[in-house]
Chains A and B, each alone.
Chain A
C-alpha cells in the first residue's frame, strides 16, 4: 500500500504538471488569438447560427477559429487533467492512510499532501462554478507542483504509526481543520497575487510579472474571489489553530497556549490575516494594499510550514524531515 501511495504521488505530480503545461499552452495560444479574437467574433456567430451549406462561400477567417478553439480546448483539457490529478491525489492520501492505519496527516510530508489536496479540490470547485477564471489554473497548478515537489524532496517520510503524543481525537479535529484552512488560503493566494499583477497591468505596467496580467479575469473579480476565499478560510483557521489547537494542548501539555514556535507563527498568520480583513473593510485603505497583506499572510503560513518545521525545534516537531 505504501508503495502504491508513492507511485500515485508521482502520478499526481505528473498530472498537475501536465495540467500546467495545458494551461500554459492555452495562455500562449490565447496571446496569439488576442488579435484573431476580434475577427473571430462575427465568424463565430456565422458558424454558430447558420447551418453550414456546402456551396456557401467561406466568409470566415479560417485560421482564427481553430486557434481560438484550440486554446479554449486546451484550457478545458487542463481542468480535466487537474481533475484526474485530484483523483490520483485522493488515491495517494487514501492508500497512505490505509498503509499507516490512521488519518494521513501525521507528519510534514502527509500534511503538505493533504493541504495541496484541499487546495486542488477547492480550486476545481471554484473553476467549475466560474469557468471565466480558468486562466488562474496555470498558477494554481504551479503552486501545487511546487509544494508537492517540496513535500517529496525535503519532507518525505516512510509510512509509520503515530507517536503517542499525536494519538488523540484532537489529531483528527485540529489537524484536519488546519489543513482545510491552509488549503483554502493556498487557493486564495493565487487570485490575490493575480489581482496585484492585473492591477499593475491595468495601470500600464508592462514589465515581467505584469505581462501575465494580460489574459487573467478582471481585477475586481479577482479581488472579490480573494476576499471570499480568505473570509471562508479565516474562521476555519481560527477554529483549527486557535481553538482546537489550544484545547488539545491543554489536554496534552497542560497549558492551552505556550508560545511554542508553531503557535507563535500560527498567531502571526492569524494576526496578519485579521489585518487583511480589517484593511479590506476600511474604505480608506487601497485594495492593492489590503491584498498585499493577504500575500504576507500566505508567506507567514509558508514560514510556519517550512521554516518552523525544518529550522526551529519545538513541541510541534512532527516534521521528521531529513532525519530518523
Chain B
C-alpha cells in the first residue's frame, strides 16, 4: 500500500457570483459536449457518416471508378463532389464529427483520470453505520479473540485477495476494515480511451510524414525503377514530406513466376528483383503477395501482374524501333488491353524532321491463351497459345498537344476528328509471337514476344508501429474494463457487549463481527464472492 490520506470534508461552497453570460455559455457548451449523451450521438453520427464512403467510389481507393461515376451521373456527380462524397474520410464533415468526438472524449476522460488518480490515493471510505442496508450483508456473529487481533487477520485475508484494505480504530475499541477492489476496471477504461487518442495521433502523423506510390515494373534491365516521384505512375506524399526526402533505392525485376490451378485460379506468385540501396551493392531479393519486400523506410508490395508485348516497328525509311508495351489485364484470365505507339516513326533520315501525320499506333488485346472458339477473351492466364490482336492507326497521335492522356489507350478524339485513321483492315490482325504484319504502306510490325510485368505499391508509414501499439493497448484496456468489477466490502469488529461478558467468560474478551458488501458496477456474481469472502475470513479466524 502506498500512502493514503483520509477523505477530507468537502470545502465550503464559494460565495455565489454573478455569472458572466459568455463564460456560462462556454461552460455549458463544454458540459454539453462532454456529456455521454453527446458522445453517443457523435458515435452514431460517425457510423452513419462512414456509410457513403462504402457506396460511392472513393478517390484515394479507386480514382478510375470516380471518373466512371462522373460519366454515368453527369448531373449528380459534381454536387456529390462538392460535398466531399468521393473522398468522404478526408471531408470536412467527417473530420468535424471525429474531432468533436475526440474533443468530447478528452473532456470526459481527463477529469475521470484525475478522479481515478485521487481515488487510488484515497483510503476506501469507512464502514457505513448500518451494514445491513447494503446489498450484501453477513449478520453479526460472535468470535473468539479480541477485536484488534481479529481485525488484523481479516485485513490480512483481504489483502491476500488483492483488496485495497484500510484498518481503522473507532471509539469503544471498535475496529472497522474497509476494502476495495476492481480499480483496474476504471484504469482499463481510461487506458482504452487514451489508446484511441494515440491511434488518432498516429494516423494523423502517418498521413503527414508517410508517402506512397504505385509503379508498373516490366522485367528487364532496361526497365528498372529508381525511387523518385517522377518515376511513379501515381504517387502521394504526406504534407510534411518533400520529394527529396524519399529513400534512395533502385529496383529491377529480374524474374517473375506465376502458377495457376487448372481452372485458371492463381496459385502462387513470385517476383525476383535486383535491389540497390544507398549506392550499395546490388542484392537479389524475392517477394510475393502477403510477403512484401522490406527496404529501409519503404515496403514494396506486389499488387498485380500482366504481360508486356515486345514489338518492333520498321518504318518506310527502313528504320526500326523496338519497345515494350505493358497491356493491362481486364479479367482473371489476363485478357489484356493496351496500345503500342510509335510517335517517332517515319522520321525522314535526310531532314531529321518527323511528319506528324505519319505517326503510328496500334490498339488491341493480348490473350495469353487464345480459345478455340474464337472468343475475344483469354481462356487461361498462362501463355499456352498466346495471340496479339491489333488494329493499326496512322496519323497524328495527339501526344504533342500537351494534354496528358492515358498511355494504355489511343486518343479517341484524334480518331473521331479524323486526324488518326485506321489502316490495315477493319478487323484486328492476329499475331503469334515471332509473326510480323506488313501494313499497306510497306511498313512492318513484328511481335517479338512478351515480358512479364508486375504492379507494385511502395509505401512508408512512420507511425504504423505507434498505431499498432495504440490498438493493442486499447484492446488490453477494453478487456480490463469489460471484465472488471468494482466492489467494496466492510467488516466491523466490536468488543463483545458488556452484558455477555458479565454473564460468562469475563476476561477472555471476544468480539462480534459483521460484514457488508457493495458492488459498484453491475456484477451478478458478487453475492457468491461475498459469501466466499466471509467464509474465508471465518475460516482464517478459527484456524
Chain A residues proximal to chain B, CB less than 8 Å: 160-161, 163-165, 167-168, 170, 224, 227, 231-232, 234-235, 238-239, 242-243, 246-248, 250-261, 264-265, 267-268, 271-272, 274-275, 277-279, 282, 284-285, 300, 308, 312
Q: Which residue of A170, A234, A246, A265 is within 8 Å of B482 (Cβ)?
A: A234
A160 → B minimal CB distance (Å): 7
Q: How far is the CA of A275 from the CA of B42 in the complex (A)?
A: 9
Closest to A279 in B: B40
When distances are taken between beta carbons in the complex, the residues of chain B under 8 Å from A239 are 475
Residue numbers in A under 8 Å from B51 (CB-CB): 264, 268
Which A residues touch B479, using CB under 8 A?
Answer: 235
User: CB of B467 within 8 A of chain A?
Assistant: yes
The answer to whether B44 touches A275, judged by C-beta atoms less than 8 angstroms apart, is: yes
Residue in B closest to A282 when the chains form the complex, CB atoms: B36
The prevalent SS among residues of A at the interface is helix
Residues of B within 8 A of A265 (CB): 54
CB-nearest residue of chain B relative to A253? B301
With A160-B263, A163-B266, A250-B464 as given contacts, are A308 and B54 in contact (CB-CB < 8 Å)? yes
A-B contact list, 13 entries, CB within 8 Å:
A167-B268, A224-B522, A231-B482, A238-B475, A252-B289, A254-B459, A256-B461, A256-B468, A258-B61, A259-B60, A260-B61, A271-B46, A285-B36
4 closest Cβ contacts across the A-B interface? Answer: A254-B301, A264-B54, A261-B54, A168-B290
Q: Residues 252-293 of chain B: 1 if any A CB is under 8 Å from the residue's CB, otherwise 0? A: 000000000101011111000000000000000000111110
In the bound complex, do residue A243 and residue B290 qualify as a contact, i.e. CB atoms below 8 Å apart? no
In the assembly, what is the distance between CA of A44 and CA of B212, in Å?
Answer: 76
**Given A254-B301, A258-B61, A264-B50, A161–B267 Cβ distance below 8 Å?**
yes
Q: Which of B116-151 contact A (CB under 8 A)?
A: none
**Would A170 and B36 count as touching, CB distance under 8 A?**
no
Contact status B475-A235, CB under 8 Å: yes
Q: Is B494 an interface residue (CB 8 A)?
A: no
Given contacts A234-B478, A254-B457, contact A267 B50 (CB under 8 A): yes
Question: Chain A residue with minimal CB distance to B459?
Answer: A254
User: Is B58 engaged at the interface, CB distance under 8 Å to the other chain?
Assistant: yes
Which interface class (under 10, 10 to 19, 20 to 34, 35 or more) fits B?
35 or more
Most buried by A among B40, B55, B458: B40
Q: Give the chain B neighbours of A277 by CB distance below 8 A.
A: 482
Would B290 and A252 count as touching, CB distance under 8 A? yes
A271, closest chain B residue (CB): B47
Distance to closest chain B CB from A268 (angstroms): 5
Closest CB in chain A relative to B478 CB, distance in Å: 5
A164/B36 contact (C-beta < 8 A), A234-B482, A242-B471, A251-B292 known: no
Does B26 interact with chain A (Cβ within 8 Å)?
A: no
Contact for B290 among A235, A251, A258, A261, CB less than 8 A: A251
**Is B459 in contact with A235, judged by CB distance below 8 angstroms?**
no
- A residues within 8 A CB of B261? 160-161
- B472 interface contact, C-beta 8 A: yes
Contact B267 A164 (CB under 8 A): yes
Query: Which residue of chain A has the shortest Cβ distance to B101 in the bound complex?
Result: A271
Q: How far is the CA of A283 from the CA of B532 in the complex (A)?
A: 29
B482 contact set on A, CB distance < 8 A: 231-232, 234-235, 277
State A15–B492 Cα separation when bound (angstroms).
58
Q: Are B43 and A275 in contact (CB under 8 A)?
A: yes
* Docked CA distance A3–B227 (Å): 52
Residue numbers in A under 8 Å from B474 (CB-CB): 238
Q: Given A243-B472, A246-B468, A258-B61, list of 8 further CB < 8 A pairs?
A: A160-B265, A165-B290, A235-B482, A243-B471, A259-B54, A265-B54, A275-B47, A300-B47
**Which A residues lie within 8 Å of B50 (CB)?**
264, 267-268, 271
List the A side residues contacting B483 at CB < 8 Å. 231
- Scoring A268, A284, A285, A312 by chain B CB atoms within 10 A of each residue's CB, the highest score goes to A268
B224 to chain A, nearest CB (A): 20
Find chain B residues with CB under 8 A from A267 CB.
47, 50
CA distance A267 to B94 in the complex (A): 14
| Most central of A163, A250, A264, A308 by chain B CB within 10 Å | A264
CB-CB under 8 A from A264, the residues of chain B are: 50-51, 53-54
Q: How far is it, in angstroms, between the C-alpha of A231 and the C-alpha of B479 when the chains are bound?
A: 9
Shortest C-beta distance, B286 to chain A (Å), equals 14
How many angstroms between the C-alpha atoms of A170 and B291 in the bound complex? 11
Is A163 within 8 A of B265, CB to CB? yes
Instruction: State how many angstroms separate the Cβ of A94 from the closest Cβ of chain B.
Output: 23
Write out the residue numbers on chain A whose beta carbons fall within 8 Å of the beta carbon of B40: 275, 278-279, 282, 285
Contacting residue for B464 out of A235, A256, A285, CB 8 A:
A256
In the complex, the answer to whether B53 meets A259 with C-beta atoms within 8 Å is yes
Q: How far apart are the CA atoms of A167 and B54 in the complex, in Å?
A: 26
Given contacts A254-B299, A264-B50, A264-B53, contact A235 B457 (CB under 8 A): no
Is B39 among interface residues, defined by CB-CB distance under 8 A?
yes
Residues from chain B with a CB closer than 8 A to the CB of A272 are 43-44, 47
Complex Cα distance, B58 from A312, in Å, reads 13
A164 pairs with B459, CB closer than 8 A: no
Closest to B303 in A: A253
Q: Give the Cβ gap from A253 to chain B, nearest Cβ, in Å.
A: 6
Cα A25 to Cα B299 with chains together (Å): 61
CA–CA, A285 and B37, complex, Å: 8
Residues of B within 8 A of A300 (CB): 47
Given contacts A164-B269, A254-B459, A275-B40, whether A312 and B464 have CB atoms under 8 Å apart is no
* Nearest-neighbor residue (CB-CB) of B212 within chain A: A254
In the bound complex, how far is the Cα of B39 from the Cα of A231, in angstroms? 19
Shortest Cβ distance from A312 into B: residue: B54
Fill in one digit per residue for B52-64: 1 if any A CB lies within 8 Å of its CB, else 0. Answer: 0111001011000
Measured between beta carbons, the chain A residues less than 8 angstroms from B526 are none
In the complex, what distance in Å separates the CA atom of A248 from the CA atom of B46?
Answer: 25
Q: Are A255 and B459 in contact (CB under 8 A)?
A: yes
Chain A minimum-CB-distance residue to B467 = A256
Q: Which residue of A lies closest to B45 (CB)?
A: A271
Q: Cα distance A250–B478 when bound, in Å?
A: 24
User: Given the interface contacts A224-B524, A234-B482, A278-B40, does A255 sit within 8 Å of B290 by beta carbon?
Assistant: no
B residues within 8 A CB of A308? 54
**In whole angstroms, what is the CA distance A168 to B261 when docked?**
18
Shortest CB–CB separation between residue A166 and chain B, in angstroms? 9
A231 to chain B, nearest CB (A): 5
Q: How far is the CA of A255 from the CA of B203 in the complex (A)?
A: 11
